[in-house]
Structure 1
């Protein structure tokens, strides 16, 4: 399957992570970028960097050789691709679609097969780390693709990522990303439990987390979700919300069921997520589950 020479780029979805990724892509790739989002504000913010707003998804496909997607869920990705005037209806042989979203593995592989029938590639490249990392261009990206597809898009992904891992064929990037998030969520629950226990035992939580950071319990989650969110009690909206986190956790639980793994830890996290949503915290940064754990 030949790959079209890459001269023009498209980007669909300029949300919390998509906007800085699109901006870095436009600034560093040296290629023209056409973008689409329902909200005109992020499109206006990236316009000074040479990004041109598209009228619809069809215009993005027609005006680019590689199309990046950064959307809320795999279900939204599938709808965009399979709609009556969606990406599959407009795709050309040799084009590449790169899904930066976190999407279910079965949807990813089904879409890849559908694009392959039209002589195009659909790759999964979900991203990890924070919005600050997206701004700085230091995301971690896990790619599921054949070697030719990976080699073609890696220099483009490098405009917004410092760590790029080729995980295997299509779908494997999603497997690794989904499990990354599952481990993160379970770690956040452990930190919330530890903080609540420390407080009730007369130990300063700041001292607890600082001491944990010097030992074997140290982690990215501790230094970011624990020290920067749980300690000050800051759980803003428009961050990685409980609702989005639960969507990703559902993908992990689906994988567990499909592979016959008894993922009890993940199911426990799901229970805390549901309690946070029921308490009205679904739109807040997901470490807000600490409030529910501490309230028991």
Structure 2
């Protein structure tokens, strides 16, 4: 029996991104896969795979050698890992915990240090790209871990990602993910402003997007968020909402302050998405920020105004 086939993988958190990631693991990993989510309906995303359902976190800790997490943020990651009924609370613990969530850098490093004292290795491995990419197993995964741990977990991450990058020590995966997200959110705001400017200047939005996508103003956000959501003005529920954007932006601004950078562009984006969340697009897909621009909705004052 190979080492891979003898390894049992646990997965905690079967949300919008977690369910397709876990599904890919269950379809590709030769060993057992066991999953946990507090919402019973979340397991529908694993139908047709060999993944089995755990009733508790303790069951994951008892059975799994390596556990992946896909959770909303710092508080949930800390609770699942180190809480009274968390993965490291019992006598039998996973050897490795890999966090696919987006958290603060300080939070990742704190959890890693506390788990290390309990003999559990930890890597932060936040993911980028869309839910569709998660379904295809084509995510970009940014990993913070030491060299030896990265070498061990990279083949498992390749179940979910087509691009797996070792960014440095623990926490560095979160640094890169937060930078990635900030650039996306800020670019989306800039595109929203220029789509409205272009339309009022007499250029049809679809023509503007097509022309700019062939020039130096091209970007992932233009080809995806602008073309697929901002052009048709379709901002569905249960997508990446402005509230999620604001959570990530707060993490970016915390990091910027810690390293002594005044991130003014990110602060402006924060004001735009706050206006989006509080003026009718709460819970809707975040490119709805274009409506804030188009309707000339007043932005809230910045924290340092």
Please classify the TM superposition score into its range, dividing by the shorter chain length. Answer: over 0.9
Provide closer, same or farther for how the CA distance between residues 281 and 95 of structure 1 changes in structure 2, counting only shifts above 3 A: same
Provide closer, same or farther for how the CA distance between residues 5 and 50 of structure 1 changes in structure 2, counting only shifts above 3 A: closer
TM-score normalized with structure 2 length: 0.93
Task: Supply the distance in 2 between the matched residues of 1:66 and 1:54 (Cα, whole angstroms).
Answer: 15
1:36 is matched with: 36
Task: Supply the distance in 1 between the matched residues of 2:6 and 2:119 (Cα, whole angstroms).
Answer: 16
Task: Supply the distance in 1 between the matched residues of 2:4 and 2:138 (Cα, whole angstroms).
Answer: 28
Q: What is the deviation of 1:257? A: 0.7
8 Å CA contact 1:91, 1:120 repeated in 2: no
Alignment of 1:163-182 (within 5 A): 163-182=163-182
Residues 14-63 of structure 1: CA deviation (Å, up to 9, x unaligned):
00000000000010111211101122123133142011110111111111
8 Å CA contact 2:64, 2:94 repeated in 1: no
Are positions 1:230 and 2:230 aligned together? yes
Are positions 1:281 and 2:274 aligned together? no
Structure 2: give runs of 5+ residues left out of the alignment: 297-305
Residues 192-212 of structure 1: CA deviation (Å, up to 9, x unaligned):
000110111111111111111
8 Å CA contact 2:5, 2:31 repeated in 1: no
Provide closer, same or farther for how the CA distance between residues 91 and 183 of structure 1 changes in structure 2, counting only shifts above 3 A: farther
1:142 is matched with: 142
8 Å CA contact 1:92, 1:118 repeated in 2: no
Moved over 4 A (4+): 3-6, 91-94
Q: What is the deviation of 1:108? A: 0.5
8 Å CA contact 1:21, 1:135 repeated in 2: yes
Provide closer, same or farther for how the CA distance between residues 4 and 258 of structure 1 changes in structure 2, counting only shifts above 3 A: farther
2:51 is matched with: 51
SS for the counterpart of 2:140 is strand
SS for the counterpart of 2:98 is strand
Residues 93-138 of structure 1: CA deviation (Å, up to 9, x unaligned):
6700000000101110011011111111111000000000000000
TM-score normalized with structure 1 length: 0.96
Alignment of 1:50-129 (within 5 A): 50-90=50-90, 92=92, 95-129=95-129
Task: Supply the distance in 1 between the matched residues of 2:174 and 2:18 (Cα, whole angstroms).
Answer: 17
2:303 is matched with: none
Provide closer, same or farther for how the CA distance between residues 6 and 259 of structure 1 changes in structure 2, counting only shifts above 3 A: farther
1:203 is matched with: 203
Count of matched residue pairs: 294
8 Å CA contact 2:4, 2:29 repeated in 1: no
Are positions 1:215 and 2:209 aligned together? no
